[in-house]
Each structure stands twice: as structure tokens, then as C-alpha cells.
Amino acid sequence: MNARNNILDKLRKSVAGSTPINDNYDISLVTKPWSYAPEERINRLRTLMEAVHTEIHITTQKNWPPLVEQLLHDKQIPSLLIAPNTPHGRQLEAYWNGKAELPSLKAYDRPIEQWKADLFNETPASLTGTLGAITATGSLVLWPDQHEPRLMSLVPPLHIALLHASKIEDNFYTFHEKYKWREGMPTNALLISGPSKTADIEQVLAYGAHGPKDLVVLIIKDA
């Protein structure tokens, strides 16, 4: 603990007698330039996310499972990782039930240690929900949890994310306020704004660096 005390002592000595600076946070600066009419939100989100190679589809609560089926078929994906204990996981399973020759559904239902190799090598795609999205920056918000673990949106090369249109907020400030993030954060919270990318070689943009190569967002317009 010596280092701790030494550091803190030095710092305290250096600010001795000086007054802390007041918090004059101007909320309008981080909200006003980033406010949108409700009908604008989807368009802006779409424009921003498509600009970084995200595939976006607008669908409905009833029609998204067949859309997933279609997408997997078009992309020739043999299996899909789902979170079986989520409402959307159950809905997809129900839709899949009894249909022949569909890609197999794989459930993330046990600790990673028990199937790490499978996740890394044999899991081409995943489907997750989202907490919502942020219009200003074109970002999905994910709060992974025990039912839908964090590696789902990271390791499989294709990530399909469901987003309810009603959960799209204007900006990061309003989002974090609405969900009272300051009162407690989950183990891991994420903003995801496209498939993984890099420009580390000569500033040439290349997609599919370490995370998903493809991100597909299904925006569910609520009735």
C-alpha cells in the first residue's frame, strides 16, 4: 500500500489550499445539437450505420423471424447462435420449430469454458437483442447479461441485432439518463456502431478486423 499512499500524499500536497472546480456541465451542449424529430431517428441511424457497412432492415415483430431465415439462407450460414432464455430467442425457436432444412440453432446456455473452441471455430453467426440505440452517433446499445452473454456480439463473424424502433434515443446523454446508468452499471455495457474495422495500414479502411465482419440490424417497427 506504500505506492498508493505515496501517490495520494503527493497529489494532496499539490492541491492543498486550492479550491476544486465547480461542475458547470451544460446539458444543452451535448443534447441540443443532437436532437431529432422522432421520424428522423431511423433514417439518421440508418445513414450513419450504413456508412460504416452495417446492413439494415426494417421489419415487424411478427416478420423478423422469417427475415432472419431469409438472411441466413442468402448468406449460406449453416448455424445461428441464440440466447434461448430471452423473448426473441424463444420467438425464433418457436418459428424454427418443425420447419425442415433450416440452419441449426445453437443455444448459448453454458459457461464459455465448456465450449470455447466451438464458439471460436464452429459458430458463424449470432442473434442478439439490444437495449436500444443512439441516433446521434449511429450506435446500438447492448447490455449483455447471463441470458445473452457478451461474447455473442463479438466472436461470431456475423452478428444480427434486433432493435425496437421505440428504443431509439437521440443521443448518449439522454440514453444514459433515461436508463439511470449512474445508479449502476452491468458487468459489461457496449455501444456498437458497425462491424469491426481498422485503418491501421495506410489508413485504408478494412472491415472484419477482430470482431464481426458483418453486422445486420433488424429494426422492428412496433405496431
Partner 1 sequence: MSELFYNAAPNATRIAAPIPTQREYPDQKPQHVYLFGTCVVDLFYPEAGMDSIRLLEREGITVHFPQGQSCCGQPAYTSGYTDEAREVARAQLALFRQDWPLVVVSGSCAGMIRHHYSELFKNEPATLLQIEALAARTYELAEFLLNVCKVGLKDRGAPTKVALHTSCSARREMNTHLHGRALLAQLEAVQRVDHDHESECCGFGGTFSVRMPDISGAMVADKTRALQESGAAQVVTADCGCLMNINGALEKQNATLRGQHLASFIWQRTGDRT
Partner 2 sequence: MTQMTRIPVLELPTPSFKTRARQALNDEQLRRNFRVAMDSLMTKRLAIMSDPDERERLREMGNHIRARALSKLPDLLEKLEANLTRNGIQVHWAETVDEANAIVQSIAEAHKAKHLIKGKSMVSEEMNMNHVLEKQGIECLESDMGEYIIQLAGQKPSHIIMPAIHMNAAQVASLFSDTLGTEYTTDVDELIQTGRHVLRQKFFEADIGISGVNFAVAETGTLLLVENEGNGRMSTSVPPVHIAVTGIEKVVENLRDVVPLLSLLTRSALGQPITTYVNMISSPRKSHELDGPQEVHLVLLDNGRSQAFADGELRQTLNCIRCGACMNHCPVYTRIGGHAYGTVYPGPIGKIISPHLLGLENTPDHPSASSLCGACGEVCPVKIPIPSVLRRLREENVKPPEATPHLLRGQGSKYSSRERLAWKSWRKLYTSPTLYKSFTYIATRLRNVTPRNVGPWSKHHAAPKPASRSLHELAREHLGEDKA
For partner 1, the binding residues in 9-38 under the rule CB under 8 A are: 14-21
Q: Is 178 an interacting residue with respect to partner 2 (CB under 8 A)?
A: no
CA distance 76 to 181: 39
Q: Is 98 an interacting residue with respect to partner 2 (CB under 8 A)?
A: no
Alpha carbon distances (Å) from 114 to 13, 85, 109:
51, 18, 10
Q: Please give the residues from 125 up to 164 whose contact with partner 2 meets the rule CB under 8 A.
A: 136-139, 145-146, 149-151, 154-155
CB of 176: closest distance to partner 1 in angstroms?
Answer: 25
Cα–Cα–Cα angle for 190, 196, 202, rounded to 5 degrees? 130
Q: Is 209 an interacting residue with respect to partner 2 (CB under 8 A)?
A: yes
- Residue 214: how many other CB atoms lie within 10 Å: 21
CB of 57: closest distance to partner 2 in angstroms?
Answer: 20
Which position has the grid cell 470455447?
116
Q: Which of 17, 26, 37, 98 binds partner 2 (CB under 8 A)?
A: 26
Q: Which of 17, 24, 98, 223 binds partner 2 (CB under 8 A)?
A: 24
Rounded to 5 degrees, φ, ψ at 97 are -55, 125
CB of 168: closest distance to partner 2 in angstroms?
Answer: 15
The piece of 63-71, 74-82, 90-98, 105-113 that touches partner 2 (CB under 8 A) is 105-113
Provide the edge-to-edge strand list for the sheet that holds 104-107: 54-60, 214-221, 158-164, 125-128, 79-82, 104-107
CB of 33: closest distance to partner 1 in angstroms?
Answer: 16
Cα–Cα–Cα angle for 12, 17, 19, rounded to 5 degrees? 95
The piece of 56-64, 74-82, 124-132, 184-192 that touches partner 2 (CB under 8 A) is 184-192
- Which partner, partner 1, partner 2, none, binds residue 128 by CB below 5 to 8 Å per kind? none
Residue 1 or 16: the one with the smaller Cβ distance to partner 1 is 16
- Residue 126: how many other CB atoms lie within 10 Å: 26
CB of 112: closest distance to partner 2 in angstroms?
Answer: 4
Alpha carbon distances (Å) from 42 to 35, 36, 159, 193:
13, 10, 20, 14
